Chains A and B, each alone.
Chain A
Amino acid sequence: EPEVTQTPSHQVTQMGQEVILRCVPISNHLYFYWYRQILGQKVEFLVSFYNNEISEKSEIFDDQFSVERPDGSNFTLKIRSTKLEDSAMYFCASSGIRAGGGSYNEQFFGPGTRLTVL
């Protein structure tokens, strides 16, 4: 069963440092997303990406955040200058038509990267 993968599983950084979180979406999926979940809180949408550009972003996704698809498989989230409040689980997800069917509406999540900002 194809799945979304994410690296690293846990990232510890100092406040003000840049971090890059990496994701490999499900092969042949067309839409890619980043969500975050602060401990004990709801899963929150950050950004969606389609056809090599941002298609939608939330208020959380400010100038400190950026996304990129540097090659045919990876999808990255960069936080330029981390803050304490950026500490959270970051989930990558993907959706789209794939072999065996599946609605393009259905979003499948990776295992997440736990980001801890000290």
Chain B
Amino acid sequence: QKEVEQNSGPLSVPEGAIASLNCTYSDRGSQSFFWYRQYSGKSPELIMSIYSNGDKEDGRFTAQLNKASQYVSLLIRDSQPSDSATYLCAVKRDTGRRALTFGSGTRLQVQP
């Protein structure tokens, strides 16, 4: 069974702090990794994609990938109350396959 695992949370951080969200995956054939944000009752919104080991930064967001450990994370710097949402990790095995496999998400609460 190819799984994507996330801590369901809630992860509670104070405004201005760094939020760290983690994800592990079981399929070693996974090549593409994505973080989505989902507000309650809304659709997933793509935040970042990462394909290579290391860090990728985009504004306040940094994605980190370690394929050897099968681990991907998302750091949110200077967290804002508007960042309060569920963060979904999704992985894709390439070589012609298109399906994203999602984790169950981590609920983030940023306290003002």
Contacts and interface: CB of A to CB of B under 8 A. Distances in A.
A41 B8 CA distance: 11
Contacts of A17: none
B99 A41 contact: no
- A-side binding surface: helix, strand, loop or mixed? strand
A49 to B, nearest CB: 9
Interface residues of B, number: 24
Interface in B83-106: 88, 90, 92, 94, 96-105
Contacts, number: 54
B46 interface: yes
A31 B98 contact: yes
Given A41-B104, A105-B32, A105-B92, A48 B99 contact: yes
Contact of A45 (B51, B88, B100): B100
Interface of B: 32, 34, 36, 42-46, 49, 51, 88, 90, 92, 94, 96-105
